[in-house]
Copies of this chain bind each other. A is one copy, B any other.
Amino acid sequence: MKGKFYGIGVGPGDPDLLTIKAKKVLNDVDIILAPETKDGKGSTALNIAKPHLNKNIEIIEKKFPMTYDVEVLNKSYDEISNFINKLVNDGKKVAFLTLGDPMVYSTYIYLFKRLKEKDIDIETIPGITSFCAIASKVGVPLGENEETIAIVPSVYYEKGDKKLEEILNNINNIVFMKASGEIDELIDELEISGHKEGSVFVSRLGLDDEIIERDIEKRKGIKNNYLSTLIAKKNVKSR
């Protein structure tokens, strides 16, 4: 029997935002690998997929280090991809779960890059990104007509950051991912560039402690949760 590796996007959180394809594949594989970020906390991606698993499948939760230390990260990615490679070579069908979409800022990318160097069959199944789910939920279009969209990770939030300034100058709609911690400086920059009034801040969408704030000035001085996103739209009157 020939094994295969599947990278599966489970979407932003609502189990029903899994695709029909993801559900089919998850019920066809031998082993599901689920990333666990904090000891004992379990896997968020697995909790999203669980309601759709209708047969007994071996589930392995793999701990990923929460660190920016590249050496530690690489060692961990090497180990896990070697582990997957071995399983697939043993003829197993293995699925790796990932939040949102596998090709957008996902841990899966680092495993995928390593595994595609090896001689195994790989299929990646796309998922609903967090920002598309947020845009639908709050009713804020990400792009129309000739507008542009940018997706920007939190590292660019500092005031005076030249790259941030130029992105703000040139892009109509910007999704700021992981708008966690204090975002006061970012909000100031959005005011200067004309993005502030039409923006919306969203934290922990769909969860009990969800926050949707259309007056983003109110988010100043607050240490925001890790699962926060800010959609900034240029020259739009506030809604």
Interface residues of A (CB under 8 A from B): 7, 9, 11-12, 14-21, 23-24, 52, 101-105, 109-110, 112-113, 116, 122, 124-129, 132-133, 135-137, 139-153, 155-156, 163, 166-167, 169-171
Contacts and interface: CB of A to CB of B under 8 A. Distances in A.
A21 B128 CA distance: 12
Contact of A153 (B18, B19, B124, B146): B146
A113 B20 CA distance: 29
Interface of A is mostly: mixed
Contacts of A142: 103-104
Contacts of A129: 129, 132
A109 to B, nearest CB: 4
- For this chain, the copies found in one complex come to 2
Contact of A128 (B24, B127, B146, B153): B127
Contact of A133 (B109, B126, B137, B167): B126
Contacts of A171: 150, 167
A139 B116 contact: yes
A16 B11 contact: no
Contact of A16 (B19, B112, B144): B19
In the A-B complex, the 7 residue pairs with the smallest Cβ-Cβ separation, listed nearest first, are A16-B21, A103-B135, A124-B136, A149-B151, A126-B132, A126-B136, A109-B141
A20 B104 CA distance: 21
A102 B15 CA distance: 19
B148 A132 contact: no
B104 A132 contact: yes
